[in-house]
């Protein structure tokens, strides 16, 4: 057989489709992830099982290992800040104090989706070495950022407040308490002003204390609702 001594210009190497987390439309279809029309981040703890390497391969084996969880109540507290509105006059500060609650809604939503995908094992069988970052958790977060977050928009905050007498606890003045146990229709509070930044990463909530700060502090709690676009 005669040789032509022509070197091939290309070589073909099989690679895992999971090296890219960005979903791209295809004439023949692409991967499909079913997502709900509404997400309400309330008071649940999401639990899942995985390998020590974060991979999910065999549920039967992984159930013998310590579970991993995400608590939405703690997450909302971690990524929110309640501060006094510094622009209010001094006369208002000791009466109907104005407060500003800032919530990192994008981070809270992303963490909730991540935990949900882990719970339902959406990436079961995908190994660390099948991802560009060599870490399945990093790749799942990339998938959420590139394909899911832009499918949702902030809808509303469900806010609860419960006033408590200062009594002898004067040290609690202007030091309010985040408490999920006050969630009830009796403590529902709707006199809020809300706004988000252009990228919907930060929610700012403004409200006035209805009981005088000189005699009361309050417990507060909130749930978040997002709608599918």
Q: Could you tell me which residues are beta bridge partners of residue 46?
A: 70
pLDDT value of residue 169: 63
Strand order in the sheet with 193-196: 80-84, 98-103, 203-208, 193-196
Across the chain, the runs of DSSP E, i.e. the strands, are 38-41, 45-48, 68-71, 80-84, 98-103, 152-165, 177-178, 188-189, 193-196, 203-208, 216-228
pLDDT above 70 (res 5)? no
Classify the C-alpha dihedral 47-51-54-59 as positive or negative.
negative
pLDDT above 90 (res 71)? yes
pLDDT above 60 (res 28)? no
pLDDT value of residue 41: 98
Rounded average pLDDT over 188-208? 97
pLDDT above 70 (res 30)? no
**pLDDT per residue over 45-56, tens digit each?**
999 999 999 999
Whether the CB-CB separation of 46 and 111 falls below 8 Å is answered with: no
Rounded average pLDDT over 108-136? 95
pLDDT value of residue 40: 98
Rounded average pLDDT over 24-38? 70
pLDDT above 90 (res 139)? yes
Distance between CA atoms of residues 213 and 224, nearest Å: 27
pLDDT value of residue 7: 60
pLDDT band at 168 (very low <50, low <70, confident <90, very high): low
pLDDT value of residue 94: 85
Structure tokens at 64: 């013998």
pLDDT value of residue 34: 85
- The CA-based angle 15-18-19, given to 5 degrees, is 65
Distance between CA atoms of residues 188 and 160, nearest Å: 5
pLDDT above 80 (res 2)? no
Cut 0.85: pTM above it:
yes
In the chain, alpha helices (H):
59-62, 72-78, 90-93, 105-119, 136-143
CA distances from 56 to 107, 178, 227 (A): 23, 34, 29
Share of the chain above pLDDT 90, in %: 75
Distance between CA atoms of residues 214 and 54, nearest Å: 50
Nearest to 192 by CA among 214, 164, 215, 224: 224
Rounded average pLDDT over 77-90? 95
Average pLDDT, the chain: 90
pLDDT value of residue 172: 78
Share of the chain above pLDDT 70, in %: 85
pLDDT value of residue 26: 56
Q: What is the DSSP letter of 211?
A: S
């Amino acid at each position: 057989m005669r040789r032509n001594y022509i070197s091939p210009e290309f070589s073909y190497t099989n690679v895992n489709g999971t090296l890219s987390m960005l979903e791209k439309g295809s004439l023949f279809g692409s991967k499909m992830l079913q997502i709900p029309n509404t997400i309400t981040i309330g008071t649940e703890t999401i639990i899942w099982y995985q390998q020590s390497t974060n991979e999910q391969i065999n549920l039967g084996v992984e159930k013998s290992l310590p579970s991993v969880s995400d608590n939405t109540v703690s997450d909302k507290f971690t990524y929110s800040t309640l501060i006094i509105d510094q622009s209010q006059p001094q006369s208002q500060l000791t009466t109907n104090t104005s407060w500003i609650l800032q919530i990192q809604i994008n981070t809270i939503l992303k963490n909730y989706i991540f935990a949900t995908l882990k719970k339902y094992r959406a990436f079961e069988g995908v190994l660390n070495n099948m991802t560009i970052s060599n870490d399945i958790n990093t790749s799942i977060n990339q998938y959420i950022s590139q394909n899911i977050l832009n499918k949702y928009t902030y809808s509303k905050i469900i806010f609860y407040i419960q006033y408590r007498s200062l009594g002898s606890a004067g040290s609690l003045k202007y030091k309010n308490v985040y408490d999920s146990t006050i969630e009830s229709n009796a403590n529902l509070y709707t006199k809020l002003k809300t706004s988000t930044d252009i990228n919907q990463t930060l929610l700012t909530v403004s409200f006035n204390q209805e009981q005088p700060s000189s005699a009361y502090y309050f417990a507060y709690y909130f749930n978040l609702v997002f709608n599918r676009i």
